[in-house]
Amino acid sequence: MEGKAEKERVCVTGAGGYIASWVVKFLLSKGYIVHGTVRDPSDEKNSHLKKLEKALENLQLFKTDLLDYEGLCAAFAGCSGVFHVASPVPIGPISNPEVELIEPAVVGTRNVLSACEKAKVKKVVVVSSAGAVAINPNRPKDRPMDEECWSDLEYCKATQNYYCLAKTIAESEALEHTKKSELNIVTVCPSFTFGPMLQSTMNGSSLLLLSFMKDGGESVKNMLYPVVDVRDVAESILLAYENPDAVGRYICSAHSIRAQALAEKLKSMYPNYNYPKSYIEDENDGELSSEKLQRLGWKYRPLEETLVDAVRNYEENGFLVEH
C-alpha cells in the first residue's frame, strides 16, 4: 500500500472490533494518524491494537461510548475523516432490543454525525450492512439486489429482526443527513464477513462460520449466504473514503454460496471437523450486486483464500481443535 505524503488524522469508532481492527491496521500502514474509540481501553480485548505496526507512534485510543456525545467530540477533534464502524452485533439472544441494539445503532449514528459536524470533519464512512438492503419480501426476484433496495422496516419488526431494523434506520438516517449538511457521508453495506480475526475475542460472523465446522447440527437451513472477506471489507471502507467519486451507498459482497455448498467446501479441505448432517431447503433469499463498488475500483479475493486464512486463524487461536 502507498504511504501518505502528509499525515492525515482520522478516527475509527469501535476500533477494537473485528472489521474496525482491519480498518485501523490498513490506515496505519498507509501513514494515517489514527484515533480509535473503544469503550474500555484497558480491556484485554483491545490489546491487539497496540501491537499493530506503527500503532505506537500513530494510534491513540479514546474511551467513549456511542451514546456519549462529548466523548465522541473529543475523539474526533482534529480529524478530517471518520470511519463509523461501531454498532452492536449480537452473538446470542437479546432481552431488550431497543436498549441493546436500536439505541446504540440509531442514536449512536446521530451522535457520530453531529460530533463530526462540531469537529469540522469533512468525510464520514458509515458502515451499514447487507441487512439494511435485503430483508424485504418484495425485493426483486429477477435480478440481484442493488443499492436501490432497502430492507422493509415493518417486515423487520414483524420477524423480530432487530439487528437489521437498527442498521436500516441508522443508514437511511445517515444518508438523509447529507441533504441538510456539508458533511460528505458515504455508506458501505458488507454482507456476511468472514476471514482472519486480529482481535483475540470471538465476533458474531466468525462464530457463524465456526458453527459450520463445530456444531454439526442435525439439520441446517440451506440458506444462500452472501459473503465477503474482512480484508476486502476494510479495503472497501478505505476506498469509499479516499475516492472523491464515492457517493451514496455501496453494497460490499463478493460471493453467494448456500450453507450446504459452504459446508461441503470446508469439509473437502478440512475433513476432521463436525459438519451439519442434513439440510432443509430454503428458497427465501436473493443475490446482491456489488457492481457499483467494483466500478469504484474494488476487488475481492477468492472464497477459498478467505476460508483457508480464517480456519488457520481459528486453529492458531484455539477456537477449532481437530478430532
Catalytic site residues? 167
Rounded CA separation 7/30 (Å): 9
**Is 256 a residue that touches ligand NAP (CB under 6 A)?**
no
Beta-sheet strands, E only, within 143-198? 184-190, 192-194
Exposure of 143 by Cβ count < 10 A (0-12 exposed, 13-18 middle, 19+ buried)?
exposed
Residue 179 DSSP symbol? G
In the complex, the smallest distance separating the C-beta of residue 143 from ligand NAP, rounded to whole angstroms, is 22
C-alpha cell read off for 319: 477456537
For cell 458509515, what's the residue? 126
**Is 124 a residue that touches ligand NAP (CB under 6 A)?**
no
C-alpha cell read off for 293: 463498488
Is the Cβ of residue 159 or residue 219 nearer to ligand NAP in the bound state? Answer: 159
In the complex, the smallest distance separating the C-beta of residue 65 from ligand NAP, rounded to whole angstroms, is 4
In the list 12, 14, 239, 288, the residue contacting ligand NAP (rule: CB under 6 A) is 14
What SS3 state is found at 99?
Answer: helix
**Is 17 a residue that touches ligand NAP (CB under 6 A)?**
yes
**Is 203 a residue that touches ligand NAP (CB under 6 A)?**
yes
What residues contact residue 233 under an 8 Å CB cut-off, 6+ apart? 19, 22, 188, 190, 193, 252
In the complex, the smallest distance separating the C-beta of residue 218 from ligand NAP, rounded to whole angstroms, is 25
**Binders in 28-67 for ligand NAP, by CB under 6 A:** 39, 65-67
Taking alpha carbons only, the member of 99, 39, 96 closest to residue 66 is 39
In the complex, the smallest distance separating the C-beta of residue 234 from ligand NAP, rounded to whole angstroms, is 10
In the complex, the smallest distance separating the C-beta of residue 184 from ligand NAP, rounded to whole angstroms, is 19
Side-chain-facing half-sphere of 129: CA atoms under 13 Å: 23
Binding mask 104-123 for ligand NAP (x = CB under 6 A): x---x---------------
Give Cα separations from 272 to 16, 214, 316, 321 (angstroms): 32, 10, 16, 9
In the list 41, 71, 190, 276, the residue contacting ligand NAP (rule: CB under 6 A) is 190
**Is 300 a residue that touches ligand NAP (CB under 6 A)?**
no
Exposure of 142 by Cβ count < 10 A (0-12 exposed, 13-18 middle, 19+ buried)?
exposed
In the list 27, 52, 55, 89, the residue contacting ligand NAP (rule: CB under 6 A) is 89
Is the Cβ of residue 95 or residue 268 nearer to ligand NAP in the bound state? Answer: 95
Binding mask 153-172 for ligand NAP (x = CB under 6 A): --------------x-----
Stretch that binds ligand NAP, among 14-22, 134-142, 218-226, 290-298 (CB under 6 A): 14-22
